[in-house]
Every structure is written in C-alpha cells, then in structure tokens.
C-alpha cells in the first residue's frame, strides 16, 4: 500500500518501520523538514520525507501521528480543509489526555477522533493503534489485539490489513462514535500506570463468549 504519515516522532517511526518492513511504501510528512528527513532515515529506504501536503497525495491510507496539540494545525497544513483527505482512510492513534492523569481532554463528550473527522472533511477516520507503545510494532513481542472504531467499511478493511501486517489481531469494536470509549481505555491505563499501579491487574480475565470463539 501507499501510506502517508503525518508526524515525525516515536510512533511515526515505529509504525513506519513496521509497514516498510511489510513491503509498504511510506511517505513521512512533518512540519519540520529536518525531523521528517531524520524520521525517514530512521525508518530506512524506500521511506522518504515530504511536506505535510505531499504526504496525503495518492495515498491508500494516512496515519496521523502528531501530538494532540498539533492535530488541527497539521491537518490544516496538509490541506484537509480543502478536501485533500476526502475519501482516504485516516488512522487516528491519538491519546489526547491530561499528562500523567489520563483524563480525556475533549470536554464535550466526543472523542478526539470525532474532532479529527470535523477537521478533515470527507476523510474516513478510523481510531486505531493508540493503546500500545510504538516499540510493540518493531520488537519481537507477543501479538496483541488492536481494537478499532470507524464508520467506513473500506477504511476499516485497510486498517485491519495494516494491523495484521504489523503482527496484530485487529478487531472492529463499532462505529466511530465508539472511539471515545477506546480513548477512555487508554486514559484508564495511563492513569493507573502513572499512579504506580499495574493496569493489567485492574481488568478481569473474562473469556470470550463461546459462540464468538474462532471469529
Ligand atoms: N509514542 C507512542 O508509543 C504512542 C503510542 C500510541 C499513541 N501515540 C500517539 O501518537 C501521537 C504521536 O506521539 P509520539 O510519541 O510519536 O510523539 P512525539 O515523538 O513527541 O512526536 C510528536 C509529533 O507531533 C508534532 N507536533 C508536536 N506539537 C505540535 C504542534 N503544536 N503542531 C504541530 N505538530 C506538532 C511533532 O512535530 P515536530 O517534530 O516538528 O515538533 C512530531 O512530529 C500522539 O497523539 C500520541 O498520543 C503514541
């Protein structure tokens, strides 16, 4: 696939590396050209650095790997308001939470994914890849479930394929309005971890319903 990544930091490099290893063509777009060049170099060829606007052209999927403070500006610089992302699967891994506390920052009851959909008219937003640290995708780790939410079947299919390509077991939780629930899970995990508690021990081991096994 032809993948555009908006952002040049840890997650951009992690998923960009994993997708490049899986044979995808990755373009890295950043507001700071030097950081985009450094990220592309860290990922390795054939990944290359481009502008934010170029990173969304002719892409099968775009990953928005930017700090929450920069989401609106980044999408504006990528031409989202003019429709540059219309029809494109836009993967949102954002954790817009109060640092070290985990309280979600959107205070209107909507997920940050819903706000991203507003800032990128026509984009097919999929919440995904927000729960696990970037090195999950580059190191030899046990496979994990990537729960995702979105409205567009094609975009969910693309996100599912890209999840499998990095060794995950992707699962669609529901439509995009359930992204807020996925974001709350991350806030819960972050809140407990920063308070010195093991988040894994705070969740009961509930078996899958028998009729759902094997799905
Ligand atoms: N790192 C992880 O393991 C991980 C895991 C799951 C989800 N996430 C999510 O992925 C996103 C990126 O995280 P990260 O760890 O990769 O962050 P990071 O390494 O700090 O990189 C942040 C990126 O956002 C850009 N940025 C920061 N402030 C900005 C602003 N005000 N305007 C425009 N751009 C801005 C930076 O651009 P410059 O370089 O030009 O400053 C950089 O490209 C976040 O939403 C985070 O919650 C991260």
The secondary structure element, H or E, covering residue 184 is: helix 179-194
- Residue 75 alpha carbon to ligand 1 centre in Å: 13
**Cα dihedral 99/199/132/35 (nearest 10):** 30
Distance 152 CA to ligand 1 centre (A): 25
CA distances to 34, 60, 93 from 189, in Å: 33, 31, 15
Q: What is the pTM of this model?
A: 0.97
Closest CA to 16 of 61, 58, 52: 61
Q: Which residue, judged by its Cα, is nearest atom 24 of ligand 1?
A: 66
Each residue of 75-102: pLDDT tens digit? 999 999 999 999 999 999 999 999 999 9
- Which residues approach ligand 1 with their CB closer than 6 A? 7-12, 30-32, 35, 65-70, 73-74, 93-95, 130, 133-134
Q: Span 108-119, mean pLDDT?
A: 97
Nearest CA to 26 among 93, 86, 36? 36
Supply 59's token pair.
């892409």
Q: Report the nearest-CA residue for atom 21 of ligand 1.
A: 9
pLDDT of res. 213: 58
pLDDT at 211 over 80: no
């Amino acid at each position: 696939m032809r993948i555009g990544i908006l952002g040049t930091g840890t997650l951009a490099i992690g998923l960009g590396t994993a997708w490049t290893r899986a044979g995808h063509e990755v373009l890295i777009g950043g507001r700071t050209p030097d950081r985009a060049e450094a990220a592309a170099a860290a990922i390795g060829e054939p990944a290359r650095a481009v502008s934010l606007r170029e990173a969304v052209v002719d892409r099968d999927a775009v990953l928005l790997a930017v700090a929450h403070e920069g989401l609106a500006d980044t999408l504006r610089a990528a031409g989202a308001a003019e429709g540059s992302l219309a029809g494109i699967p836009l993967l949102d891994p954002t954790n817009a939470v109060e640092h070290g506390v985990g309280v979600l920052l959107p205070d209107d009851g909507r997920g940050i994914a819903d706000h991203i959909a507003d800032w990128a008219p026509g984009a097919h937003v999929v919440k995904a890849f927000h729960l696990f640290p970037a090195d999950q995708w580059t190191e030899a780790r046990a496979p994990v479930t990537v729960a995702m939410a979105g409205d567009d079947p094609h975009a969910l299919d693309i996100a599912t394929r890209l999840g499998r390509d990095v060794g995950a077991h992707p699962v669609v939780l529901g439509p995009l309005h359930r992204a807020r629930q996925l974001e709350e899970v991350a806030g819960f995990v972050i809140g407990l971890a920063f308070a010195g508690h093991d988040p894994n021990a705070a969740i009961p081991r509930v078996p899958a319903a028998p009729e759902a096994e094997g799905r």
